[in-house]
Amino acid sequence: MNHTAHTIEKAVKEIADEMRERADRGEVAHYIPELARVDPKHFGIVVIDDHGHVACGGDADMPFSIQSVSKVFTLTLALGRYGDRLWQRVGREPSGSAFNSIVQLEYEKGIPRNPFINAGAIAVTDMILSGHQPREALGEILRFMRFLANDHSVTIDEAVAASEQRTGFRNIALANYMKSFGVIENPADLTLGVYFHQCAIAMSCRQLATAGRYLAHNGRNPETGMSVVHPERARRINAVMLTCGHYDGSGEFAYRVGLPGKSGVGGGILAIAPGKASIAVWSPGLDANGNSHLGRIALEALTKKLGWSIFGV
């Protein structure tokens, strides 16, 4: 273990210890009944540096519902298939509104603002589905996640998927609203079926941090050398994560943490320190914008300790 790895380990350990003690834990997402049962006491963190050294803290190996963190990977998949044509159907500007806002869709003729709000992610999933059966599309997504996480045990939590399918009325509304503008090509219920399952993928911080390594290292996994995307594309996905990755809390995350990141209502956040590390944190309690409360605080502490903000040395 080199000097840097040691510093990272120390920081991760301190943060995990501090987070364990904190009383303010946010509120667990209650609108997906299955997620509402998760214990808010959990906290996990994993940092994987450029040499592949893994620093863990807390519940680093406990799987959680990655939810919207999956949007980073489906965007990567869809860009691989469609290239820049993808941007004809989804914008890449921050929305200035909540993750499930439908107002913007009416004003902008069904084109979602970016691929990381719900509407945009549903549109991206619809593109992945086109020309396939839902089962195939979902299989492709799951295989991609296992490949990136380098772990074939990654799986879908069917109870969570079923819970969302029963209660995800706002997502059904978003999909049908886009369909009325022709932005969704497949039957809305099929697209949503894939979408709800992709959100229900369960991963641990270790798996998630592993999966994100290509974004930290110019599009390829530095250990295997395997290329996932072109370097420019990796940079651009990071840029979209920075401006749009935390819904209407994206500015706040950039301001406090200073790293590209993507959160999910399951309480997970994937953050990328370009050239340095891939980071996953998990704490189920959310803040008012639907982002992990302690997750953000932990990442702020981490970048401060390690001087990893992309906005200054």
Binding site for its own copies (CB under 8 A): 91-97, 101-107, 113-114, 169-170, 172-177, 179-180, 188, 218-219, 231-232, 234-236, 238-240, 242-244, 248-252, 254-255, 258, 260, 274-275, 304, 309-313
State how far the Cα of 121 lies from the Cα of 75, in Å rounded to an integer: 8
Angle, helices 188-199/158-167, rounded to nearest 10 degrees: 140
Closest CA to 260 of 279, 280, 241, 278: 241
Q: Is 247 a catalytic residue?
A: yes
Active-site residue, from 72, 195, 204, 214: 195
Q: Which is nearer to its own copies, 20 or 235 (CB)?
A: 235
Give the residue from 34, 44, 51 showing the smallest Cα distance to 269: 44
Yes or no: say if 122 and 58 are a contact pair by the CB < 8 Å rule: no
Whether residue 109 lies in the annotated active site: no
**Smallest gap, in angstroms, from Cβ of residue 309 to its own copies?**
5
Compare residues 201 and 299 and give the one whose CB is closer to its own copies: 299
Contact of 283 with 268, CB cutoff 8 Å: no
Selecting among 28, 46, 54, 71, the annotated active-site residue is 71
Query: In terms of CB distance, is 145 or 216 closer to its own copies?
Result: 216
Amino acid type, 73: F
Shortest gap between Cβ of 115 and its own copies (angstroms)?
Answer: 11
To the query of whether residue 255 is one of the catalytic residues in this protein, the response is no
Nearer to its own copies, 44 or 168 (CB): 168
Q: Is 68 a catalytic residue?
A: yes
Provide the pairing of β-strand 201-203 with 155-156: antiparallel
**Which positions are annotated as active-site residues?**
68, 71, 195, 247, 265
